[in-house]
Structure 1
């Protein structure tokens, strides 16, 4: 109980979980989803940073680059991100075909079933030390991270109304943050004893739990659709496999959402790459740089959890999505402006924490509430296209933009980042203008 006599954030969460079984299953679902991802995320980072090219790339690819006089090791991340984007272009129509042809009770387990089966394949690859396993795993987890989370939030918009989303999405996000805490702890505790291959099996266990949660939550999705006379999600959606991209081109709200994500990812990619450059120059000891990064991750997760439990629900329920979309943009503009004047590691770390925490705790939940007020084509097709193709396209674009700006120094990089943050904030205003035109819950 708080000093004022009102229940504190944790007690409010417990009360909400008791009152809403759907929230409880959603909470468990997102916790398992992000726990499973963060168990594997350190493996991706280790593969991408490995000095052993045989671990990352197939022998034939290394030989091809060598024969053409190209230093593959100098462009490892650029090569990987470029390939990830191309893979997304292939996967998006395939995903569109699945959600168009199969009902929700089929395609949700199919998506997670695909990831479970492929994880078992990676268990065999890492257990036997297959060359090129690092590249294959980097591609896989980049696809998994975006598609699995996009499917989750699309499904949440089936389960909850707009009012419920504003009340609950902060709590559901907090479940993911707790999972983000637990995953690395599991990895650091087990990897030395059981090896990387067995971590794949740990993640499989979490994904199987996700499928069970999906099965439990279906009845609330069906109930909401019947009560509000919505399109039955237990029937195939139909349409074209490219409907998601077509909707983004055609609908103003989706275009603004895509632009907001584009510039938001641009901010994160620019800051991430320049941070790595600054740390590489100023913190030469590997142990010290590892500790620096770990403290940033800890601070991000701690701040995110505090905001999700204490602020997000209140802000969305009381004032709607406008503050949650605009506050991060204004804060990032101020932070990048400060970095343009003084790009020191401590200042970079502070802005990194602010940027990531505000996106996880405010920006993402606010955007996802919008999908509770649109039809399922928007949620499962357009929303997924924004979270996959647009996201990875922005990642790739700004990785190369940073490469060019970095030739002129950190001051220019962060000045450019300030302009990107302004564009993101203007896109948020466009989203808010179009969002007002949507119908309210029936």
Structure 2
């Protein structure tokens, strides 16, 4: 599970950015416009909206030229939505099955500890030729001999390598990236407000489909408003397979699309920056900012999870990585009785436990939470000395087996000391198995 501890060094040696560089100089666009252009070039630098002029002669498969094809829409490589993306004749991947295991994760993190530079995009003198993208693919079948298998392995790795995008290297004379595209890609990649840590407080890539914890500053109510004002006319209601100006895309509707593996990574990029060379421009979707994105994703995530039902599958330890040091323990008995404990601190910094028992209804658990004191540790412990005070209520609303929201509401007599809280939470450790709200053993 990835909770965005951006401490590992970043290697750019395997970035399949699909870019080339031209020495033509021009006035650099204004910062906001430049970041937006870089985002579209990240999607497809050969597109008109992405500042391009079509495919280079050296490659026939567009996927081998797109930045997102190897680094992922979220720039996290195998640490994000592309963790299970396979390599084929028509596309590279984020390193899965490759003999070269260096990371394709180039997300700089909110602290901007690493800054991607133009030279790392160019890969002058060290990158591959465009033709070694799809051209490196060797098909294997039941009759393949040892040489064919060796050629397949070599081509598999070669096709995932970073191309040389300079004017003097392996692709000299071919269609290349403009200076604006190069500059704006650098700006976009290093733009902290579009970093995945702003959108998601955690990504669990070990789960299929990938599970996303939306940033805790999101509002589902605001997300619904944004969706109605900017998305509804083309896409219909999220659950609809709508045939509007979007030509029926995504097939099955928005919620059907978001149920796919790694789909939120793609969604947030397209929904914020637009889809190049289509009617879905950044302007037609309201020029959204990062707050709009986390709002609409939370709204859609909650819509997708409306049918989730609590069961024994959600028992265990839950926490928010940004609030390490406190958390929730949930236990569910066969008779439907639920026990919830919240270990936290009082306003003086002392350890404090809130606990309660109750039952669950559909996707939520609601318990009366008690605060206790009076007893002593060890041999002198006396259960009759325990004082119990009704503190308020704890409500846990589960979106999936891996994501939930905790709502804490103190009673009036405690409200002057304790504020009401809403805390997005995720599992501290994964269950053995949890499908459809049911936990089962894999043995």
TM-score after normalising by structure 1: 0.26
TM-score after normalising by structure 2: 0.26
Structure (1/2) with the larger helix percentage = 1
Instruction: Give the number of the structure with larger relative contact order, counting CA–CA contacts within 8 Å between residues 6 or more apart.
Output: 1
